[in-house]
Amino acid sequence: MRSHWSRFVLAGLLPAFLLGPPAAGAQRLDPIIYTLKFPAPDTHVADVVATIPTGKAATVELMIPVWSPGYYVQEDYVRRLHQFVARGPTGDSLRVEQPQPNRWRVTTRGAATITLTYELECSRPTVTGNSVVADYAVINGAPTFVTLVESTRRMHEVHIELPAQWHQTATSLAGASDRKPNDYVATSYDELVDSPIIIGNIRMHRFVVAGSTHYLADIGDIPATYNGDTAAAKLEKIARANARFWGGLPFRKYVFLNVFRQGGGGLEHLNSTLLTSNPRTETGTSLRWLDYVAHEYFHAENVKRFRPVELGPFDYEHAPRTAGLWLAEGVTSYYGDLLVSRSGVSSIQDFLSTLSAAITAVQNRPGRLVQTLEQASLGIFATGGSGVGGNAGQTVSYYDKGQVVGWVLDARIQHASNGRKTMDDFMRLGMKRYGGAHGYTPDNLVALASELAGTDLTEFMRKTLRSTEELDYTEALDWFGLRFAASTDPTKAWNLEVRPDATPAQQVRFKTLAGKYPGM
């Protein structure tokens, strides 16, 4: 059966920077329209036809990005784009120059619209690459859509022509006005880039949380061990925990684009996430998979709405530098694990185990004494890997250390405020002040933490974020009634456990932190 998405306009649900500047007449700009074709999927190629309005300018400048938001690696997308041709309304070839590798300048001869055709090599099964195989396609925005170089907001439409053997598409984009099931519209280029599409034969699972319709869209080499209905039921509980945490959800539609294929990793997007799942063993119930999906889902708020000031509006031709990835990524890991626990999908002991693993990873990495947490964030485009891997002797992971800092900062805020405020309040107040168009700076975060703690945390944040001094776990252990298990094995020396002599107050604090929400 063909998939037919609900139709709605996302205005009011997007961060203000995605809606673009309120320039006069911006809404009247003609859209750029792309048609995607897959004439022979076995060849790993997609054909793109793009209709580009010119405003009758003598020349137009076009570009394709050099990086994808959320994946902090500069990539050479243009290398996989071939046979670029521009034509006028009568089919006549137009002059094309390439002033820089990712840009084209087209002489329009005064035409109101021009047509671009180009071929995409789709053989990169990664979170930012395009992949076309016999059974399905995964299309990411940045390596696919050539657009005008302009500062005003413009609608972009995507029309997808399916091969006979494929029957469905899935994306978080809203349906186009023609109401055809495989035609979509983005309110801006930012939204288009942030909305991947999967195409093929999809197993769809649906649930509704806080007025938002969620889809778990499974595709690829789905293993016999996997049960999509069970996975969706668990994700529904996690979504409910998120809605409770934030006081609602910022979208009417969210899609888990779950691709079973070799590789790894997932990438957050505005109203969706692109997941890579194990095609041999995944069940949809493993704690590792659920924590991983919960991390990407939490990103819909933390980084997509509540974000470092440098991460929007996006400059797709120049990589940003931000000191805030410890919060955007590391604290997302902290809350991804916490909300899986609070949802009742996992246990308090599971949360302790995942936090222990993060502490162990930090303490067994010599680079923690060489690189600060903010330096790890600021230098990520230079070190590569988007925060994963790297030289363990010279670098620290903002994922692992950021996760641990989330817990340590949580304890500091709670202790200093005598339990009146928590890291939850930090996130919610941060969202209120710095979500959408605003963005935060490092100094904003110090001030926010200090305000909630009721005391100046400037020195605490300096030591934690801007120095290579060892993290001090004493306060967090004491506040939550925990300890490190005694062991001479360095892989176990940082395993957390509840103290046998934990006081009732300490037990309540820890259960409040990681325990199941009442009624869930």
Looking at residue 436, its pLDDT comes to 85
Q: For residue 17, is pLDDT > 60?
A: yes
Looking at residue 264, its pLDDT comes to 81
Q: For residue 23, is pLDDT > 70?
A: no
pLDDT per residue as tens digits for the range 264-318: 889 999 999 999 999 999 999 999 999 999 999 999 999 999 999 999 899 999 9
CA angle 190, 195, 198 (to 5 degrees): 155
The percent of residues above 90 in pLDDT, for the chain, comes to: 88
Looking at residue 18, its pLDDT comes to 66
Q: Is the pTM of this model over 0.85?
A: yes
Q: For residue 21, is pLDDT > 70?
A: no
Q: Residue 16: which pLDDT band, with cuts at 50, 70 and 90?
A: low
Q: From 188, 150, 178, 180, select the one nearest 162 (Cα to Cα).
A: 180
Q: For residue 34, is pLDDT > 50?
A: yes
Q: Residue 27: which pLDDT band, with cuts at 50, 70 and 90?
A: low
CA distances from 398 to 306, 323, 368, 474, 497 (A): 18, 10, 10, 21, 24
Looking at residue 4, its pLDDT comes to 28
Q: For residue 26, is pLDDT > 60?
A: no
Task: Average the pLDDT over each of 55-64, 153-162, 381-390, 437-446 and give the range with the smallest value.
Answer: 381-390
Q: Residue 498: which pLDDT band, with cuts at 50, 70 and 90?
A: very high
Q: Residue 12: which pLDDT band, with cuts at 50, 70 and 90?
A: very low
Q: For residue 6, is pLDDT > 60?
A: no
The percent of residues above 70 in pLDDT, for the chain, comes to: 95
Contacts of 284 (CB under 8 A, 6+ apart): 226, 227, 228, 230, 231, 234
Q: For residue 9, is pLDDT > 50?
A: no
8 Å CB contact between 189 and 154: yes
Q: Residue 3: which pLDDT band, with cuts at 50, 70 and 90?
A: very low
Q: From 210, 431, 231, select the one nearest 335 (Cα to Cα).
A: 431
8 Å CB contact between 194 and 21: no
> Could you write out the DSSP letters of every residue in 371-392?
S-HHHHHHTHHHH-GGGSS--T
Over residues 24-32, the mean pLDDT reads 72
Over residues 455-483, the mean pLDDT reads 98
Delineate the domains of the chain, giving CATH numbers in brackets.
16-39+46-124+143-163+172-194 (2.60.40.3650), 321-520 (1.10.390.10)
Over residues 208-236, the mean pLDDT reads 98
pLDDT per residue as tens digits for the range 318-370: 999 999 999 999 999 999 999 999 999 999 999 999 999 999 999 999 999 99
Looking at residue 431, its pLDDT comes to 97
- Mean pLDDT of the chain, nearest integer: 94
Q: Residue 1: which pLDDT band, with cuts at 50, 70 and 90?
A: very low
CA distance linking residue 351 with residue 357, whole number of Å? 10
pLDDT per residue as tens digits for the range 407-436: 999 999 999 999 999 999 999 999 999 998
